[in-house]
Amino acid sequence: MSLTGNVGRVAVLTENFLPAVLNQRVACLRMNTDKVLKKFIFHVLNSDYFEEKCILASNGIAQKNLSTEWLKKFEIPEFSISKQKKIADNLDKVSHTIDLCSAILEKLDLLVKSRFVEMFGSKDYPILKWNDVFNTTTGKLDSNAMAENGAYPFFTCSKEVLRINTYAFDEEALLLAGNNAAGKYDVKHYCGKFNAYQRTYVLTLKQNWSYVLFKCQLEEKLDYLQQQSLGGLTKYLTLKILGKLEFIVPPLNLQKQFATFVKQVDKAKQKVKETLEKAETLKKKLMQDYFG
């Protein structure tokens, strides 16, 4: 268990990694197997219950620290071995579903990337700079302009789409987050009435091209943009940074073919996401029921 930084982060040391050496800020927890099951303890230590206790007990400003003395006094919820097994089995099942759904989503993302490379990777298509591809503007509002259950989508630099009761745009566009504490930006695609935060870039295509194709290309550049972004506590993107980006422009019929493929994959992803959300909700409920 990590006692510093991401305090309370837990991993299982299996026989495949023995013998092992830990540094002074990692605690080694050995189980009294007469009283507790290892997989039960693992779930306890990965619960919101334990995480909240860790956050309250940790100290430090730049970097959080957890003391072994506090850890030794931490009280594990007491259940019989048979009850522990039932709890662990239930959480194992729902965790497996979550892991499986996450793995499928990763595979589907890779499928889209592979299809992009297959169709466009080795072809000699025109390459255009940012300003030759996009009309670029930004929203005008502060993020607190949101309204719960508002009539229109409100795009900010959050991954979640908020709501608002007024709209400033009525068009098809890509929405690029322009700032982020860690520089982990996000791209969304929307068509219709919407509004946007003042640091969200609203991008419309200069020709009748596929928004799906250019969204995929822009997403591939997000790691690069994270490296290039400016700022200290909050990272941000400038038009100077964006203006250096380049995009391939294949024939329109191939753009449409790729967009059709991506939309089919997105339908499959949506079904997986729905299953994932249900599993995550169930896991939270079980955690609450078992550990409070």
**Is the domain of 143 the same as that of 228?**
yes
Average pLDDT for residues 75-100, to the nearest whole number? 94
Q: Is the pLDDT at 50 greater than 90, yes or no?
A: no
**Is the domain of 105 the same as that of 158?**
no
Percent of the residues in the chain that have a pLDDT greater than 90, as a whole number = 66
Exposure string over 245-258, b if 16+ CB within 10 A, otherwise e: bebbbbeeeebebb
Residue 279: per-residue pLDDT: 97
Q: Annotate 137-197 with DSSP letters as a single string.
A: EE--B-GGG--TT-SEEEE-SSSS-EEES--SEEEEEEEEE-EETTS---EEEEEEEEEEB
CA quadruple 247, 253, 257, 263: dihedral positive or negative?
Answer: positive
Question: Most confidently modeled of 56-70, 120-134, 204-218?
Answer: 204-218
Residue 11: per-residue pLDDT: 87
Residue 53: per-residue pLDDT: 86
Domain assignment of residue 84, yes or no:
no
Domain assignment of residue 102, yes or no:
yes
**Is the domain of 245 the same as that of 255?**
no
Residue with the bigger pLDDT between 4 and 151: it is 151
**Is the domain of 245 the same as that of 138?**
yes
Q: How far apart are CA 42 and CA 9, in angstroms?
A: 11
Query: 121: which DSSP letter?
Result: I
Find the farthest-apart pair of alpha carbons in the chain and give their distance in angstroms, rounded.
Answer: 70
Residue 138: per-residue pLDDT: 95
Domain assignment of residue 139, yes or no:
yes
Task: Give the domain-ending residue among 249, 265, 283.
Answer: 249
Q: Taking all residues of the chain, what is their mean pLDDT, rounded to a whole number?
A: 92
**What residues are paired with 248 via a beta bridge?**
127
Domain assignment of residue 217, yes or no:
yes
Judge contact between 49 and 291, C-beta under 8 A: yes
Exposure string over 70-94, b if 16+ CB within 10 A, otherwise e: ebeeeeeeebeeeebeebbebbeeb
**Is the domain of 175 the same as that of 213?**
yes
Over the stretch 226-269, which tens digit does the pLDDT of each residue have? 999 998 888 999 999 999 999 999 999 999 999 999 999 999 99
Over the stretch 137-176, which tens digit does the pLDDT of each residue have? 999 999 889 999 999 999 999 889 999 999 999 999 999 9
3-class SS of residue 9: coil
Domain assignment of residue 155, yes or no:
yes
* Low-confidence winner among 58-62, 92-96, 242-246 (lowest mean pLDDT): 58-62
Residue 94: per-residue pLDDT: 96
Average pLDDT for residues 71-98, to the nearest whole number? 93
Judge contact between 212 and 259, C-beta under 8 A: yes
**Is the domain of 159 the same as that of 217?**
yes
Q: Is the pLDDT at 60 greater than 80, yes or no?
A: no
Domain assignment of residue 113, yes or no:
yes
Domain assignment of residue 6, yes or no:
no
**Is the domain of 74 the same as that of 101?**
no
**Is the domain of 206 the same as that of 285?**
no
How many domains are there within the chain? Answer: 3
**Is the domain of 115 the same as that of 179?**
no
Q: Both tokens of residue 202?
A: 């609203």
Q: Is the pLDDT at 8 greater than 90, yes or no?
A: no
Report phi then psi at 201, rounded to 5: -80, 130
Judge contact between 132 and 146, C-beta under 8 A: no
**Is the domain of 141 the same as that of 242?**
yes
Cis peptide before 77 (omega within 30 of 0): no
Domain assignment of residue 9, yes or no:
no
**What residues are paired with 263 via a beta bridge?**
none
Residue 48: per-residue pLDDT: 83
**Is the domain of 259 the same as that of 239?**
no
Domain that holds residue 292: 89-119+251-292
Q: How far apart are CA 14 and CA 4, in angstroms?
A: 22
Residue 55: per-residue pLDDT: 84
Q: How far apart are CA 217 and CA 209, in angstroms?
A: 13
Domain of residue 154, CATH code: 3.90.220.20
Q: How far apart are CA 157 and CA 239, in angstroms?
A: 16
Confidence of residue 98 (pLDDT cuts 50, 70, 90): very high
Confidence of residue 118 (pLDDT cuts 50, 70, 90): very high
Other beta carbons less than 10 A from residue 173's beta carbon: 24
Judge contact between 119 and 254, C-beta under 8 A: yes
Residue with the bigger pLDDT between 292 and 289: it is 289
Q: Is the pLDDT at 292 greater than 80, yes or no?
A: no
**Is the domain of 270 the same as that of 289?**
yes
Over the stretch 182-203, which tens digit does the pLDDT of each residue have? 888 999 999 999 999 999 999 9
H-helix segments, the chain: 38-45, 48-57, 68-73, 81-116, 130-133, 211-220, 222-228, 239-242, 252-291
Average pLDDT for residues 63-76, to the nearest whole number? 87
* Low-confidence winner among 7-21, 121-135, 176-190 (lowest mean pLDDT): 7-21
